[in-house]
Amino acid sequence: MAVRPVLVLPHRVLSAVAAPVGRVDDEARALAEDLLDTMRASPACVGLAAPQIGLSLRAFVVDVTGHRKARSCHGPFVLFDPAITASEDPEVAREGCMSVPDLTGDVTRARRLTVVGTGIDGERLTLEVDAFEARAVQHEFDHLDGLLFLDRVAGSHALFERKVYR
Amino acid sequence: MARFSLSALGADRPGIVAGVSGALVDLGCNLEDSTMTILRGHFAILLVVATPPQVDREALERALTPIADAFDLTLAVRPLSDAAVRAEEADRAQAPGPGSQAQASVEAREAWTIAVHGADRPGIVHAVTTALAQARGNVVDVATHVVGEPDSAVYVMTLRVTLPAGKAAEAAARHVGEAASELGVHCTTHRDEADLL
């Protein structure tokens, strides 16, 4: 459908709690297509949430296909109104975000989780995800609550500038 | 044994740490603690140095001056009182280990991480740390970053702090969060997790 501009800090939508999507209608499906198109437009992007393209709605897409840190892989998928129903096995790893320029950070995330939500055809989905796909789901899920990885850093020296020093 | 603080700052270039530490090791000094990092293109060194009996402040400055000149560093050497070092050692000795009980006479405190981010503007650090001080919080460590394009720069600050333990910590964290929102910046606080595996 369309590649949308990705909002960056300090845009207020990124700090807002997003509203439920509810019934999956044409508008919701168009949002999902825009999220997928926008995610695919950036080669390193493995997930994108609706607030990042300026819509404060509870929807995100994830696609960890071919990523070297991935174990479980459900291919490209969209989740509307997701909920994380179980999570276990925390680990610290570094992540970045399309909406946070120049920084990466060490964040503790569960290595395994169960996430439920509504799929693109309005079907009820229950996904068991682990490793990198689990990290991506938790990162995107946080966007729906107005949280960025910055809000979860593991300490005052857990943020790193991406620029290459001389 | 005497201790000195040593700070040095200059435009970043290779060899600064090697030069400074070389002068110190030649005098028989020990680097007890340090922070060294690049701040806006300047390499900043902050050291606590323990010196052998015959090395006084003048001897330290004399040994470091050629390095400071070679690298165009702003250098400062100051004697340190032992009181702060002894207090820290006492804290460590009293720190509750597995199975031990915290000393009742020492106020219980807990470690928290505070993350603040928002449009860059003067006063963010002051507002957050003033609220923190009012709530009897103590800053242990701070890192700041300015990211993004110059016309939409974002200030990101992460702090490690200690707060009075328990419900007081949650109240203090709320107080800091309110100060941040008055400034229009986003602030989250969480207890540092200390899972021992």
Q: Which of A156, A163, A166 to mutate to test the interface with B (most CBs of B within 10 A)?
A: A156
Q: Which of B192, B42, B40 is nearest to A161 (CA)?
A: B40
Note whether B147 contacts A90, CB cutoff 8 Å.
no
Note whether A153 contacts B115, CB cutoff 8 Å.
yes
Please report, for the domain that includes residue A149, its CATH number: 3.90.45.10
Contacts of B9 (CB under 8 A, 6+ apart): B39, B42, B43, B44, B45, B73, B74
DSSP per-residue codes, chain A = --PPPPP-TT-GGGGSPPBP--S--HHHHHHHHHHHHHHHHSTT--EEEGGGGT--BSEEEE--TT-TT-SS---SEEEEEEEEEEEEEEEEEEEEETTEEEEEEEEEEEEEEEEEEE-TTS-EEEEEEEHHHHHHHHHHHHHHTT--GGGGBSSTT-EEE-SPP-
Note whether B147 contacts A155, CB cutoff 8 Å.
no
pLDDT digits (tens, 9 = 90+) for A83-109: 999 999 999 999 999 999 889 999 999
Instruction: Kindly list the domain boundaries of chain B, sorted by start residue.
Output: 2-82, 109-191
Is the confidence at residue A144, as pLDDT, over 60?
A: yes
| Helix (H), strand (E) at residue B25 | helix B16-26
Note whether A165 contacts B192, CB cutoff 8 Å.
no
DSSP per-residue codes, A75-98 = -SEEEEEEEEEEEEEEEEEEEEET
Q: Containing domain of residue A94, as a range?
A: 12-161
In a domain, A5, yes or no: no
Q: What is the CATH number of domain B2-82?
A: 3.30.70.260
As a whole number, the mean pLDDT across chain A is 95
Q: Which residue of A has its CA nearest to B190?
A: A152
Strands B154-164 and B138-147: antiparallel
Between helices B16-26 and B57-71, what is the axis angle to 10°? 150
In a domain, A166, yes or no: no
Q: Which residues pair with A59 in a beta bridge?
A: A80
Q: Which of A150, A155, A165 sits opposite B117 (nearest CB)?
A: A150
B117 contact A CB<8A: yes
Q: Which residue of A has its CA nearest to B158?
A: A156
The pLDDT value given to residue B82:
82
B173 contact A CB<8A: no
Q: How far is A135 from chain B (nearest CA, A)?
A: 19
pLDDT digits (tens, 9 = 90+) for A18-27: 999 999 999 9
Q: Which residues pair with B141 in a beta bridge?
A: B160
In a domain, A6, yes or no: no
Q: How far is B75 from chain A (nearest CA, A)?
A: 23
The pLDDT value given to residue A164:
60
In a domain, A1, yes or no: no
Q: How far is A92 from chain B (nearest CA, A)?
A: 12
Q: Which residues pair with A62 in a beta bridge?
A: A47, A77
pLDDT digits (tens, 9 = 90+) for B68-120: 999 999 999 999 988 888 888 877 776 555 444 444 456 889 999 999 999 99
Check if the beta carbon of residue A65 is closer than 8 Å to that of residue A72. Answer: no
Strands of B74-80's sheet in order across: B30-39, B42-51, B2-11, B74-80
CA A20 from chain center: how many Å?
16
The pLDDT value given to residue B86:
83
Residues in A lying within 8 Å of B, measured between beta carbons: 8-10, 15, 90, 100-103, 108, 146-148, 150-159, 161, 165-166
The pLDDT value given to residue B99:
47
The pLDDT value given to residue A125:
97
What percentage of chain A exceeds 70 in pLDDT? 98
Is the confidence at residue A81, as pLDDT, over 90?
A: yes
pLDDT digits (tens, 9 = 90+) for A46-65: 999 999 999 999 999 999 99
Q: Which of A1, A47, A67 is nearest to A143 (CA)?
A: A47
Note whether B117 contacts A9, CB cutoff 8 Å.
yes
Name every chain A residue with its beta carbon within 8 A of the beta carbon of B42: none
As a whole number, the mean pLDDT across chain B is 90
Q: How far is A97 from chain B (nearest CA, A)?
A: 13
What does the alpha-carbon distance between residue A39 and residue A46 come to, in Å, rounded to a whole number? 7
Name every chain B residue with its beta carbon within 8 A of the beta carbon of A10: 117-119, 152, 154, 185-186
In a domain, A44, yes or no: yes
Name every chain B residue with its beta carbon within 8 A of the beta carbon of A6: none
The pLDDT value given to residue A73:
98
Active site residue A140: yes
pLDDT digits (tens, 9 = 90+) for A33-43: 999 999 999 98
**pLDDT tens, N- to C-terminus, chain B (197 residues):** 899 999 999 999 999 999 999 999 999 999 999 999 999 999 999 999 999 999 999 999 999 999 999 999 999 999 998 888 888 887 777 655 544 444 445 688 999 999 999 999 999 999 999 999 999 999 999 999 999 988 999 999 999 999 999 999 999 999 999 999 999 999 999 988 765 55
The pLDDT value given to residue B194:
61
Question: B2-82 and B109-191 share one CATH topology?
Answer: yes
In a domain, A98, yes or no: yes
Domain tally, chain A:
1
Phi-psi region of B131 (alpha: psi -120 to 50; beta: other; left: phi over 0): alpha
Phi and psi of B8, rounded to 5°?
A: -145, 140
Q: How far is B157 from chain A (nearest CA, A)?
A: 8
Enter the DSSP assignment of B114: E
pTM of the model: 0.84
What does the alpha-carbon distance between residue B197 and residue B194 come to, in Å, rounded to a whole number? 9
Q: Which of A6, A7, A8, A9 to mutate to test the interface with B (most CBs of B within 10 A)?
A: A9
* Domain B109-191 is found in CATH 3.40.50.2300: no
